[in-house]
Amino acid sequence: MRASERPNIILIMTDNQPADMLGCYGNPEVSTPHLDKMASEGLIFENAYCPNAMCSPSRASVWTGRMPCQHGVHTWLDDRQMENWPAAWNAIEEFDTLPEILKRNGYATAMIGKYHLGMLDAPQNGIDHWITMARGHTLDFYGNQMRVNDKTFVHEGHSVDFFTDKAVEYIGERAAAPDDPFLLMLPYNGPYGHWPSIKGPAQNRFWLQYQDMPMNSVPREAINKAAIDCYEMNKSFHPQGKGGPDFSALLQIPNDLTSLRNYYSQMSVVDDGVGRVFAALEAGGLDENTIVIFTADHGFSLGHHGFWGHGQATWPSNGFRVAYNIPLLIWSRRLLSEGPRSVYVSSTDLYATLLAYLGMTGDVDMTGVPSRDFGVFLYGDADPWDDAVVIEQEETRIIRTPEWSYFKRFKGSDAYPLEDELYDLSKDPDERVNLSGNPAQADIETALSAKIDAYFAAYADARFDLWKGGAVKSNSSRPWLWKDAWGEDWAPVT
């Protein structure tokens, strides 16, 4: 593909959003007209999954095409650890990232939104135009300190609207040079879904739509014992305060209708922003040569299976669909066909897919990179594909196929014995009956276990392979386990 033919790329990513949280994925209560329109005019992937149900590792995987056991970011980068990070520390500095590759090939690059992959005061990873929050996670949608290239200031309004404003400005500027392609990474910090940001009635303009919503789209379930166990472990091993999370909130939010309605309203703020981005593309005459991708960093349980939030909100981490199944919409006026795709893909696969589509794989060393090119599915049905995704959540490794979901647990700790889980999705799509250890499923469990082992044997970097004594970058969510397995000297690295 000649440089003059290369399309602009806009990669929009939300923070903490399951696929179920869009009208186009079947949710009748959330209002997302712009994203529903994007889906109707483009492609909707029904079985897209993240490689890890935490923000920083999943983002690192999209930017690098690698798994946590390769890039070393295994959980959210804790803002409380920033004082221990080296100056200008970048958690994925050693890897060839999407923006760096596109920049080498003539693209202007912008990142407007949540970064959460290292220090935030200066551009990272080949980004020319740098706009982000001054912290990784969201405590409030209002009154946030923002960094715009070399300036820092407090923005009193809604952070999602701020990022949309800046994205619209950037698109307007790029319209003045329509022959010069650009990459805009627009990772919103909404709908988010944690206290205090969604505690109580929302302040945003969409609250009135939701304040009396019955919220029948979310099941009411009792708190899962594994969520309580996780809270007790976190309380014992993770310090509170200093702007860190209040883990008790994870046991209080499930079934709290006001918080659910607040969360839904934040999704509508995001949807409104996406609509404004499309309007800016059309106004600038850029819609004919732009590919827009919409996804989320990871899924999110809203009380499903009795827990709130991430896959690691239980002890041990779970692999249930809602915490990993993410939206993935791809839109272009002239390059793509329309309709749903049922193929199983990972957000990690975006790396290889975009590079192959743009003809840039010859510029990149893909040795040992597990990212797969699913570009053939952009045009319709395709040849046979390995219809499986692999997920890594510190002590839990997961493989999902159309028929099975298998959670394999780390067995190297005497103090914390962990059990595997196996679910027959053809008979038990909601993953309620654990068949692990059942003689009738012994062959399939053995085969899935072997497939997980082969995958990590092929791709894991010994430096960051936790199951073989490797470390994490910055911080772990399970320090108690790794110290028991590998000794008290085990520690994160930066």
- Per-residue pLDDT, 239: 67
Distance CA 28, CA 6 (A): 37
- Per-residue pLDDT, 474: 97
Q: Which of 78, 194, 177 is nearest to 139 (CA)?
A: 194
Task: Please check whether residue 55 is in contact with residue 15, taking contact to mean a CB–CB distance below 8 angstroms.
Answer: yes
- Per-residue pLDDT, 294: 98
The structure tokens listed for 484 are 């028991």
Q: Which of 384, 382, 284, 275 is nearest to 331 (CA)?
A: 275
Q: What is the set of domains in the chain, with CATH numbers? A: 3-386 (3.40.720.10)
What CA dihedral angle connects 101, 104, 106 and 112, to 10 degrees?
Answer: 50
- Per-residue pLDDT, 245: 65
The three-state secondary structure class of 146 is: strand
DSSP class per residue in 259-328: HHHHHHHHHHHHHHHHHHHHHHHHHTT-GGGEEEEEEESS--EESGGG-EESGGGSSSPP--GGGTEE-E
Distance CA 299, CA 324 (A): 4
Task: Please check whether residue 29 is in contact with residue 216, taking contact to mean a CB–CB distance below 8 angstroms.
Answer: yes
- Per-residue pLDDT, 5: 82
pLDDT tens for the 494 residues of the chain, in order: 555 589 999 999 999 999 999 999 999 999 999 999 999 999 999 999 999 999 999 999 999 999 999 999 999 999 888 999 999 999 999 999 999 999 999 999 999 999 999 999 999 999 999 999 988 889 999 999 999 999 999 999 999 999 999 999 999 999 999 999 999 999 999 999 999 999 999 999 999 999 999 999 999 999 999 999 999 998 888 766 555 567 899 999 999 999 999 999 999 999 999 999 999 999 999 999 999 999 999 999 999 999 999 999 999 999 999 999 999 999 998 766 788 999 999 999 999 999 999 999 998 999 999 999 999 998 876 778 999 999 999 999 999 999 999 999 999 999 999 999 999 999 999 999 999 999 999 999 999 999 999 999 999 999 999 999 999 999 999 999 999 999 999 999 98
77 CB contacts (<8 Å, ≥6 apart)?
56, 91, 116, 117, 118, 136, 473, 474, 475
Task: Please check whether residue 223 is in contact with residue 251, taking contact to mean a CB–CB distance below 8 angstroms.
Answer: yes
Distance CA 360, CA 344 (A): 24
